[in-house]
Chain A
């Protein structure tokens, strides 16, 4: 009887440690991917407001079309006047920049800037965090993960390092909500560990059971510049094939 009692205690302890243990970082990354991954087509209006010392405030308005099934997206700028009609088109592995003034398309790389902003073409691609990052570990080999509070919100705070070489920021620290795993704050670091960017995700909206941020602030810690990104008029209606073509982008400028 005593033997069975001890066995039960042991089993209960094991079960409790499984149920109440902190999740693994990889599980959290998967959870973020899962809760933010939209599998439908998407259209939205994006406004980027950049505040930089001595340069004042600059605002970019654009329309963003995204279709993940064939890895395509299209960004068309509607403001400011100098950028109006310019666009970025991605079809599979090919990416072009369109200039309205010269009516020309130029092949660009994923790491090139979008309209001279801090945003890069690769930022608009649909990529899973688990494919890009892996848990960072401390000296004892333990994952750098803790439970804390961001303001009043209980969060998991964890550190990841890049899994592949061509990721802009080799190290990141995430603060994600404990209840639904939505990122609230992300710090991105350069290879030598300098803090380069802090992102605050202020507001999310729910679309077909998935979450998408609609307001975020990206602070360029290097230049102390601030970019507010606001996403409006989100639609998940199917996008016509002709949208992801050069001809469509050209016709918009006519």
Chain B
């Protein structure tokens, strides 16, 4: 084998020019392949890991329906569910997506702005954010936490320019609040810095706690929750499914009192099926069905109404203990009195869910549920849930479809949704597939070059070396050795060319990566720190290398076999 290897190498060097040209063609193809593959990987890496993951996390728990702001009322509970579901070694971070769109005025210049809350609670996170995420241009990151300023912010040089502000200048902002009210504030520029992706140029970064306070989140509330995982590709969908399971809502019924009388509030569903079922279970003795089952419907059974001395049209106060805000009083107007049996004849107030959703989320009850419902499916089926858990979607298109359908329902019920970035940003993944197709096209062209080049080279080589084949066969070289010699030549040529192509590709990527692109258009989203981001995927390169080797081997096999089949006499007789 050693002899065949050295013979093949010697033969390759004998035809330097021809082999050099073929090798160059293969090298060039391989270089293009490496660059294209690295570019598509790099671009998707920027879009997914820098833009999407930074902005939305790997898994998002969202409840943004019906209002401009997502408000998760019980952050602690949500965090507990997340920590119970995701293994600690797999969980990187739990963050809030606090991004408030508003209007800003600097020194005589106005512009739109997004105030983003940064949660920088640990030294490690500070290091990560201030050393890796930002590149300081002017100012001091330590002032980000300073109590000297009411609202210290970090802005980009572009935003500073558009608002005509300098370090320590004040920016006036107008922002919407969680409640829909308008808030105004004065932000002080404590640092001007470039974020590592150009999407952030419009943003003013502020400490998350201050942003929450500014726009009216209560200490126990949270915005949309973003979960960052250590191994998102492997675990994001798995954990999203598990979180979805754990977010199953309870029935919306809780205990309170009317004039000291313990009462169970039962929120019935606002759909026609439920309303028909209620009509079958009760006999209305005062009021009309249209009103009592309508969006403001409130009913008591006859015995309870008598005990509380209430008649249709009377107002009464239902008081209950909330989880975060002490006792809460809700004023109801009695719309109907009914007769019934069983559970519906107990101390309950039946209220249309839309009426309950009006106050329920802002004033979460300490305890939700009713033990007596356990063996009462007929009544349990009438009751709505504390929130609606939207189904998991397979891609962005399905997600949008679900969202549109929910908006049309226009219910005040809170909706929860669990989405991974792979569904939320499925279009980006589709983009990667498209780019991979382009890469596949490049491979195909490369194959053609190899196919034509190798066949042609071998044909010429065999023709030129027919007498030589006769000589080596005459002195005892076996058929298989002749064949292997030609195959080895081809493999050596392809391997050397491919490795050269890979090295050239890495050099070209290095050079291209040094170029700074100062662009503000959509193309900037594929840049990392204003540079092209090439991400060499060693596995993909190895696979391509092996594929090319196999193709060249297969291509060379048949001419090599033909050469091997020549008899010594026949070959020696050959004359050109």
Contacts and interface: CB of A to CB of B under 8 A. Distances in A.
Same assembly: yes
Interface of A: 93-94, 107, 109-112, 162, 165-170, 190-192, 194, 196, 222-223
A124 B541 CA distance: 62
Nearest to B108: A53
B172 A170 contact: no
Contacts of B177: 191
B185 interface: yes
B196 to A, nearest CB: 32
Contacts of B67: 109, 111
Taking chain B's interface residues, is the majority helix, strand, or loop, or is none over half, making it mixed?
mixed
Taking chain A's interface residues, is the majority helix, strand, or loop, or is none over half, making it mixed?
loop
B404 A167 contact: no
B369 interface: no
A222 B171 CA distance: 12
A107 B408 contact: yes
Most interface-central of B68, B180, B182, B410 (chain A CB within 10 A):
B182
Given A107-B407, A107-B408, A222 B105 contact: yes
Contacts, number: 58
Contacts of B185: 192
Contact of B181 (A93, A190, A222, A223): A190
Interface in B157-187: 172, 174, 176-177, 179-185
Contacts of B408: 94, 107
Interface of B: 66-68, 103, 105, 110, 172, 174, 176-177, 179-185, 216, 362, 404, 407-408, 410
Given A162-B181, A192-B185, A223 B110 contact: yes
Contacts of B404: 107
B103 A111 contact: no
Nearest to A188: B182
Contact of A165 (B110, B181, B183): B181
A145 B66 CA distance: 37
A192 B186 CA distance: 11
A196 B407 CA distance: 31
Given A110-B180, A168-B182, A222-B105, 20 more contacts: A94-B408, A107-B404, A107-B407, A109-B68, A112-B68, A165-B179, A165-B181, A166-B179, A167-B180, A167-B181, A168-B180, A168-B181, A190-B181, A190-B182, A191-B177, A191-B181, A191-B182, A192-B184, A194-B184, A222-B184
B105 A169 contact: no
A103 B35 CA distance: 43
Nearest to A55: B110
B164 to A, nearest CB: 12
7 nearest A-B pairs in the assembled complex, by CB-CB distance: A194-B184, A165-B179, A166-B180, A190-B184, A107-B407, A190-B182, A222-B174
B183 A190 contact: yes
Given A165-B179, A223-B103, A111 B68 contact: yes
B180 A191 contact: no
Nearest to A168: B182
A61 B404 CA distance: 30
Contacts of A167: 180-181
Nearest to A194: B184
Contacts of A194: 184
